[in-house]
Amino acid sequence: MAQADSAGDPLLEEFAAHIQHERGLSANTLRSYVSDLTQLADSCGPLRQLTLGSLRTWLAELHDAGLARSTLNRKVAAARAFTAWALRRGYLSEDPALRLRTGSRGTHLPDILQADDMHQVADALAALRLGHADLREESPREYALAARNEALVETLYAAGIRVSELTGLNIADLDQSRRTLRVRGKGDKERTVPYGRPAAEALDRWLAVRDQLAGPSAGSAVFLGARGARIDPRVVRRIVDEALEGLGTTGARGPHSLRHSAATHLLDGGADLRAVQELLGHSSLQTTQIYTHVSSEKLRKAYTQAHPRA
């Protein structure tokens, strides 16, 4: 049976040997499991530190990327096989995949921010930036990081883009006069999306101090990490999670929540479904129609509360 590349992770190599020699799985299944688990480690960090939360975030990212439900189910099967084995071997103290749900992800959306929630998040990020403004001469990097974080969150919400699209942005992709972004989505397809004035102002502030973080490998990346290179998606997720965790009224977490919130708010505000489809880069209108369920539920609640014969 052919060996699969286990990416040099000793724990993954041991698991690959287990499923090959003890479970007798096919070479194709072996390769798929190892590929899925390598991707999981790239997204969540060391496999020894997996948690239910990190697994859910990983699946949300995959769903946001448009993977088919069958593919998601296979990846969950790989994760469950690994965590059950790791628990038996003592590498994990509990099995985080036991409560991992699949099957309904085709129609499930993560928690969504209310418009007031987004205003609160934006105000908090602006306050953090202003808090560093007085010390800008003494700690220019701290101010630059605060300005970056504000621009990053504003851009994700304003344009409704995926985290991979945000991290892939180059300065040439910004048209600041027209307030549009050129993004590369699934299948390397390009689209142009607009963004609003708050995001434009935040981007201007960030780009004015970008050189404070830029290192030799910064290239033309719009958003940079603390070490001066193009920002990593995991850093983006951490920044967004920290920005959202102060909200007591929602369980929304991660960049995908900002994307889903933007789509829902656009539809609630009367935007055309096909315009939202184009904005999000969905190849199928059916994918975009998921958001109408959220808006319909909001309408139903308003009707029940307000209509005299509800």
Task: Indicate the burial class of 91 (C-beta count within 10 angstroms; 0-12, 13-18, 19 or more).
Answer: middle
Active-site annotation holder among 136, 186, 230, 298 = 186
Q: How far is CA 288 from CA 73, 105, 299, in A?
A: 21, 14, 18
Active-site annotation holder among 33, 157, 195, 291 = 291
Question: What's the rounded Cα separation, in Å, for the pair 180 and 144?
Answer: 23
Backbone angles phi, psi at 110, to 5 degrees: -70, 170
Residue 237 appears among annotated catalytic residues: no
Residue 260 appears among annotated catalytic residues: no
Residue 259 appears among annotated catalytic residues: yes
User: If we measure between CA atoms, which residue out of 74, 11, 6, 67 comes closest to residue 35?
Assistant: 6
Instruction: Yes or no: say if 220 and 172 are a contact pair by the CB < 8 Å rule.
Output: yes
Active-site annotation holder among 282, 293, 300, 303 = 282
Active-site annotation holder among 75, 210, 256, 265 = 256
Active-site annotation holder among 129, 259, 260, 265 = 259
The residue behind tokens 């001066």 is 228
Active-site annotation holder among 132, 162, 253, 260 = 162
Residue 291 appears among annotated catalytic residues: yes
Question: What's the rounded Cα separation, in Å, for the pair 113 and 252?
Answer: 6
Question: What positions carry a catalytic annotation?
Answer: 162, 186, 256, 259, 282, 291
